[in-house]
Structures are given as structure tokens and as C-alpha cells.
Amino acid sequence: MKHIFEHRVFYADTDSYGVVWHGTYLRWMEMGRVYWTEAVGFNLIDLKENHNVVIPVAGVNIRYKMSAKVDDIVVVETELQSFNGLSAVFKQIIKNKVTDKVYTEAEVTIVAISNEGKLYRRMPKLLADVFEQELKCPELV
């Protein structure tokens, strides 16, 4: 499943050069992963409080291709790219709604840790099952 959402660029998203600050794209990607997680049936607060699972980012590989500006409408696309039992990788693209030109492309790796910060050697079953199903039949999740 590919999750897509739109967001208008605000002045607060930009830097002193008048373009979107590079860290803003990471915030939008975080929003995309949260929305994707909710779309497949998980709430991050519920995972933390009731299942002792937190899913932090372990790595980001991002390419900045062009800059968004105030009042642009950006489209954030998020989809699961791979899962190896320990970590999951999301492919995320942020582009201009009108021109379809790509601002950023990224691969974001997540892992699962306990509330105490201990890395799980295997992704907890409730998440692993969804990730595996998503990769087999993305339209069914």
C-alpha cells in the first residue's frame, strides 16, 4: 500500500534563503510513516503503552533534488520497500502536486525497541506479520 498525503508549505517551513529547510522534509516523511502505520491498523501510542514497542528511525538515505517554496503543495508518498525480520525500509518521495517534480527521494530504515531502549533481535510479531503481508499483497493490508 502506498500512502499519499498533501501538505501546503508554510513560511515556517523555510529557511533564510526562502526555500524549505532540509530538516522539514524529514518531518514530512515522519508524518507519512505515521499515517502509513495508522492506515495498516497501528497506533504508535498504543504500540508503546500496550505492547512495549517503539519504532525509531535507524537510518536515512536521502537525495535532495530541488527545493520547495512557500505555498507549494507537496505530495508525500510512503510505501514499505523491504523487510528482513529485524528492520523495515520505507521508500518516501516528496514531490510538487502541480508539476510532479520530485523534491526528495529517501529510504528510511526503522527498527523496533522496547520502552527501555533495548533493540528487539526480531521485529515483534504483530508488526512483522503486517510487514510481510504488505510485501506479499500490498493492496490487502
Domain ranges of the chain: 2-131
Active site residue 13: no
What is the pLDDT at residue 113?
97
Q: Which residue in 13, 15, 46, 129 is the catalytic one?
A: 15
What is the pLDDT at residue 19?
95
CB of 93 closer than 8 Å to CB of 65? no
Closest CA to 29 of 75, 84, 72: 75
Quote the pTM value. Answer: 0.93
pLDDT tens across 15-41, in order?
989 899 999 999 999 999 999 999 999
CB-CB neighbours of 33 under 10 Å: 21
What is the pLDDT at residue 141?
46
Candidates 3.30.70.1450, 3.10.129.10, 3.30.420.10, 3.30.70.60; CATH matching 2-131: 3.10.129.10
Q: Residue 137: is its pLDDT beyond 90?
A: no
Average confidence (pLDDT) over 88-117: 98
Average confidence (pLDDT) over 124-134: 95
**What is the DSSP annotation of 64-117?**
E-S--BTTPEEEEEEEEEEE-SS-EEEEEEEEETTT--EEEEEEEEE--B-TTS
